[in-house]
A = this chain, B = another copy of it.
């Protein structure tokens, strides 16, 4: 009894999430859910490290995660913040089965619904409609990354920060400024200066 109601709750959000992009039947959703692995992870855990092959896509039920690169000079750049109702993965590594060059790390205690490579294959084989869902997900990702690239190139620090806190108000709250600066491509000190300058207005 407990388990059932618990698991219903567990999959509520993700089922709504996938239904938004594509209509699925109850039976299809049930199959989908059975292929997901529920995982709770402590803060500051790595889901993926540079050099490993990424073998999952994870939907975030609860918590906050960042993915980032570290380049040759030890310079860290944040690729993505992910919170509730988002997915994280290194798609390139996942699909080409190549070693990743990203880190994926929890910033808070998390509850994740994990789709492994094997599970995803089964899913796509049994319900090809899901192919469309994943294509749409990647597509949106691409569009938002394009947008971010434009901002990164054409905006100054203040504009970037304002745009960010408008676009992701919750994340701007939850995440240390340090990381936000890295996401926006500026030093933490300078972000701090920008913020105090803005506060004075």
Q: Which residue of B lies closest to A96 (CB)?
A: B143
Q: Which residue of B lies closest to A143 (CB)?
A: B92
Determine whether A91 belongs to the interface, using a CB cutoff of 8 Å to chain B.
Answer: yes
Q: How many residues of A contact B (CB 8 A)?
A: 31
Q: Give the interface segment out of A6-14, A26-34, A104-112, A129-137.
A: A129-137
Q: Give the interface segment out of A69-77, A114-122, A170-178.
A: A69-77
Determine whether A162 belongs to the interface, using a CB cutoff of 8 Å to chain B.
Answer: no
Interface string of A112-152 (1 = CB under 8 A from B): 00000000000000001001101110111111011011101
Interface string of A57-97 (1 = CB under 8 A from B): 00000000000010101010101000000000001100100
Complex-state Cα separation, A135 to B95, whole angstroms: 11
Complex-state Cα separation, A134 to B131, whole angstroms: 10
Is A153's CB under 8 angstroms from B92's CB? Answer: no
Complex-state Cα separation, A149 to B182, whole angstroms: 12
Determine whether A185 belongs to the interface, using a CB cutoff of 8 Å to chain B.
Answer: yes
List B contacts of A149 (CB < 8 A).
Answer: 77, 79, 145, 148-149, 152
Complex-state Cα separation, A125 to B143, whole angstroms: 24
Determine whether A154 belongs to the interface, using a CB cutoff of 8 Å to chain B.
Answer: yes
**Most chain B CB neighbours (cut-off 10 Å) among A79, A149, A155:** A149
Is B145's CB under 8 angstroms from A95's CB? Answer: no
Is B77's CB under 8 angstroms from A154's CB? Answer: yes
Q: When the two chains form the complex, which single residue of B77, B138, B140, B150 contacts A77, counting CB atoms closer than 8 Å?
A: B150
Q: What are 29 inter-chain pairs, A to B, with CB distance below 8 A?
A: A71-B150, A71-B154, A71-B155, A75-B154, A77-B153, A77-B154, A79-B146, A79-B150, A91-B139, A92-B140, A95-B136, A95-B139, A128-B128, A128-B131, A131-B131, A131-B132, A131-B135, A134-B135, A135-B138, A138-B138, A138-B139, A141-B142, A142-B142, A145-B146, A149-B149, A149-B152, A152-B153, A153-B185, A154-B185
